[in-house]
């Protein structure tokens, strides 16, 4: 026999069912947003060199919890309301490789309190500096007197300076940059630091920073000097860059691998293997840090 249920009872069942659905599928909270366009790097020029950088990423922490790594410029949601602690670590592409994104170990993190409101965007401009523990083994901006980098005995061309008091596309900043040329007759160039520098061999971070512009691939290498001999290790091959670029080269494996070395030189080289008639490498703001 069919039973007829009152409409009020059916409505009650429907209300309970709908309430249960809401328990399992709660309404999505409205996020706030953070927008970051770029970082500012502050340096003490005389002891830390140029404030040129290539910070590509922001590693963002909310109340010390990692929210994520965001390629700049970026706008991203934050599920938070009210005042929270925001910490932002500057990130780079180690060796210029997108798959090796990492916070740069020598830059400080940016910290501030942010009042988040649902549906609104907060624009932040993180400001960072070199950590006080950073050691600069070598600095060269080509603005002072004296020779700190020169062509090696293997090179068949010279390493020289471009000087200009007016804006010049071949001078990154200031008035000078270093340059070398190769062609069909001068096919190999190599320069190295004149002095040797002691570096940690215990696995500590060692990086080489520099700005460069080139129309031909080139190589960065480390020359490790022992008590009676030396060995040269290739650190990285870099592709041409028609505009000024910035490299952060991870040298720890090369330095720590040469555990019997006493000190080191850094070298840059180009081999004209394709018969190119005119190739050039420009360098500026070189820093060897650990």
Between CA 263 and CA 224 the distance in angstroms is: 6
Give 124-180 as a DSSP string. Answer: E--EEEB-TT--EEEEE-S-SSS-SEEE-TT-SS--EEEE-SS--TT--STTEEEEE
Query: Can you tell me the distance from the alpha carbon of 246 to that of 144, in angstroms, rounded to the nearest whole number?
Result: 21
Domain ranges, ordered by start, for the chain = 32-129, 136-289
Contact 180, 191 (CB under 8 A): yes
pLDDT given for residue 17 in this prediction: 45
Confidence (pLDDT) at 147: 85
Averaged pLDDT of the chain = 92
Chain centre distance of CA 155: 30
Is 212 a residue whose pLDDT tops 50? yes
pLDDT at 3: 52
Distance CA 128, CA 112 (A): 12
Q: Which residues have a Cβ under 8 Å from the Cβ of 161 and sit 6 or more positions away?
A: 142, 176, 177, 178, 179
pLDDT at 174 over 80: yes
CA–CA dist 181, 190 (Å, integer): 10
| High-pLDDT (> 90) share of the chain, % | 83
Task: Tell me the pTM.
Answer: 0.88
Decide whether 32-129 matches 136-289 in CATH topology. Answer: no
Taking domain 136-289, whether its CATH number is 2.40.160.20 is answered by no
pLDDT tens-digit series, residues 21-47: 455 666 788 999 999 999 999 999 999
Residues 214-242, mean pLDDT to the nearest whole number: 96
Q: Compare 283 and 29 and report the one with higher pLDDT.
A: 283
Mean pLDDT value of segment 212-216: 96
Show the tokens assigned to 61.
Answer: 């922490």
Q: What is the pLDDT of residues 120-170, one digit of tens each?
A: 999 999 999 999 999 999 999 999 888 899 999 999 999 999 999 999 999
Classify the phi-psi angles of 272: left when phi > 0, otherwise alpha if psi is within -120 to 50, otherwise beta: beta
What sign does the dihedral 88-93-99-100 (CA atoms) show? negative
Residue 263: strand pairing partners:
225
Q: Among 79-88, 102-111, 273-282, where is mean pLDDT lowest? A: 273-282
Write the pLDDT tens digit of every residue in 51-67.
999 999 999 999 999 99
Other residues' Cβ atoms within 10 Å of the Cβ of residue 276: 14
249 or 274: which leads in pLDDT: 249
3-state secondary structure string across 232-254: EEEEEEECCEEEEEEEEEECHHH
HSE-CB of 290 using CA atoms within 13 angstroms: 16
Q: Which CATH class is domain 32-129?
A: mainly beta
């Amino acid at each position: 026999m069919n039973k007829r249920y009152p409409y009020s009872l059916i409505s009650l069942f429907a209300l309970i069912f709908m309430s249960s659905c809401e328990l399992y599928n709660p309404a999505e909270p409205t996020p706030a947003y953070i927008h970051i366009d770029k970082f500012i790097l502050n340096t003490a020029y005389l002891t830390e060199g140029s404030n040129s950088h290539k910070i590509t990423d922001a590693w963002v922490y909310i109340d010390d919890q990692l929210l994520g790594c965001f390629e700049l410029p970026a706008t991203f949601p934050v599920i938070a309301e009210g005042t929270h602690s925001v910490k932002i670590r500057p990130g780079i592409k180690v060796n210029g490789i997108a798959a090796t994104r990492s916070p740069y170990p020598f830059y400080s993190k940016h910290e501030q309190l942010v009042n988040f409101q649902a549906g609104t965007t907060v624009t932040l401009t993180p400001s960072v500096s070199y950590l006080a523990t950073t050691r600069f083994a070598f600095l060269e901006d080509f603005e002072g007197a004296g020779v700190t980098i020169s062509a090696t005995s293997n090179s068949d061309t010279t390493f020289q300076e471009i000087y200009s008091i007016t804006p010049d596309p071949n001078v990154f900043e200031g008035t000078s940059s270093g340059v070398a040329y190769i062609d069909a007759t001068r096919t190999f160039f190599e320069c190295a630091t004149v002095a040797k520098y002691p570096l940690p061999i215990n696995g500590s971070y060692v990086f080489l920073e520099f700005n460069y512009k080139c129309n031909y691939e080139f190589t960065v290498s480390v020359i490790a000097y022992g008590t009676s001999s030396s060995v040269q290790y290739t650190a990285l091959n870099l592709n041409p860059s028609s505009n000024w670029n910035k490299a952060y080269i991870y040298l720890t494996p090369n330095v720590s691998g040469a555990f019997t070395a006493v000190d080191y030189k850094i070298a840059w080289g180009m081999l004209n293997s394709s018969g190119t008639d005119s190739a050039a490498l420009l360098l500026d703001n070189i820093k060897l840090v650990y």
